[in-house]
């Protein structure tokens, strides 16, 4: 099983015409749903309210095949993110969040994934970091997707230190070129990714660049790949779909075993990993909202 922890919320998507729709979302939730739809046993640890929106979140997660540990929010309300789409389908966000997750016991699992606002917002952040330390104590695989929102970064230097410290405890780190720009404006995102590779437990860093593709950084070198042509409906959940597809492929490769993770090291294997993740992200971009595909919907032979 893969355990995912972090925020679960309702995405209110406002399109270019001002019409809105409500769907469950939040980066960790999207990753958990994406994994389950790719037939990976998954449990999400998060918080939801005792309201109608909370019921939608739980039904969405379980309907996709994942389990959920739904800790109630103090207010009884489920968190909300409002996404405004521009002419190109890209989203900007406004948030109404509650994140005070109490300490959790990490269940038996082969990997732990953390990321986004769940690793940034206090006091719930402390419980996420505790889960990371529990996984590290078991010598387990931990992945981290920074997935930052600049509106939540009130102290850039402190946030950069926190991201670097957490990344150093993780086997796999993912960030976008936009994340790198938030953390260290003006710095080459590739250089920022290379620096993260120096973490004590870090074995691979993935840097995504939207339509320009992605690069994997390992001790063996750097490998890049570009996606196919995509007719974008919107980009909501694309990065989360990329993350879920990456972990699903590593599961298929039995890369989470002991004594250490058997991550791909050959350039072609890493390129295939990137192509497989980008294909799942591309399909998600061709749909409205964070709606990643199921394994049966992927091209024959995926990942190719």
DSSP secondary structure string for all residues of 229-266: P---S--TTHHHHHHHHHHHHHHHTTTT-SSS-----S
Residue 88 has pLDDT above 90, yes or no: no
Q: Which H or E run contains 70?
A: strand 67-72
Provide Rg for the chain, Cα atoms: 18
Q: Is residue 15 part of a domain?
A: yes
pLDDT digits (tens, 9 = 90+) for 146-179: 999 888 898 999 999 999 999 999 999 999 999 9
Over residues 84-89, mean pLDDT: 72
CA distance 226 to 229: 9
When comparing pLDDT for 243 and 258, which is higher? 243
Full-model pTM = 0.94
Instruction: Give the Cα separation of 231 and 225 in Å (integer).
Output: 19
Residue 257 lies in a domain: yes
**Which of the residue ranges 50-54, 66-70, 148-152 would you say has the lowest mean pLDDT?**
148-152
Residue 106: φ, ψ to 5°: -70, 120
- CA 86 to chain centroid: 22
State which residues form the domain around 29: 2-297
Q: Which two tokens stand for residue 158?
A: 């402190």
Domain presence at residue 303: no
- Residue 141: inside a domain, yes or no? yes
User: What is the number of domains present in the chain?
Assistant: 1
- Domain assignment of residue 304, yes or no: no
The CATH number of whichever domain residue 283 belongs to comes to: 3.40.1190.20
In a domain, residue 255? The reply is yes
Give the full edge-to-edge strand order of the sheet including 9-14. 20-25, 9-14, 80-85, 91-96
- Residue 74, pLDDT above cutoff 60: yes
Region of poorest pLDDT, from 2-6, 260-264, 272-276: 260-264
Tell me the average pLDDT across 104-133: 97
């Amino acid at each position: 099983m893969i355990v995912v922890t972090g925020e679960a919320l309702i995405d209110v998507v406002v399109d270019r015409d001002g019409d809105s729709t409500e769907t469950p979302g939040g980066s960790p939730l999207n990753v958990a749903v994406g994994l389950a739809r790719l037939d990976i046993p998954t449990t999400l640890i998060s918080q939801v309210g005792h309201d109608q929106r909370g019921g939608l979140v739980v039904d969405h997660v379980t309907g996709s095949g994942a389990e959920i540990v739904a800790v109630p929010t103090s207010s009884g309300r489920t968190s909300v993110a409002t996404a405004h789409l521009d002419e190109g389908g890209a989203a900007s966000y406004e948030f109404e969040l509650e994140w005070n997750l109490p300490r959790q016991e990490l269940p038996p699992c082969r990997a732990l994934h953390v990321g986004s606002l769940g690793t940034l917002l206090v006091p719930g952040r402390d419980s996420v970091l505790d889960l990371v330390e529990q996984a590290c104590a078991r010598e387990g695989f931990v992945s981290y997707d920074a997935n930052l929102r600049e509106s939540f970064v009130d102290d850039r230097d402190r946030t950069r230190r926190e991201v670097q410290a957490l990344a150093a405890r993780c086997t796999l780190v993912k960030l976008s070129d936009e994340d790198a720009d938030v953390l260290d404006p003006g710095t080459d995102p590739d250089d920022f990714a290379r620096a993260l590779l120096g973490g004590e437990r870090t074995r691979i860093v993935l840097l995504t660049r939207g339509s320009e593709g992605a690069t994997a950084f390992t001790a063996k070198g750097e490998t890049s790949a570009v996606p196919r042509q995509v007719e974008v409906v919107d980009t909501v959940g694309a990065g989360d779909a990329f993350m879920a597809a990456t972990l699903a492929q590593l599961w298929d490769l039995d890369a989470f075993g002991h004594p250490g993770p058997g991550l791909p090291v050959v350039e072609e294997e890493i390129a295939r990993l990137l192509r497989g993740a980008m294909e799942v992200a591309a399909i998600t971009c061709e749909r409205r909202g964070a709606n990643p595909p199921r394994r049966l919907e992927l091209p024959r032979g995926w990942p190719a």
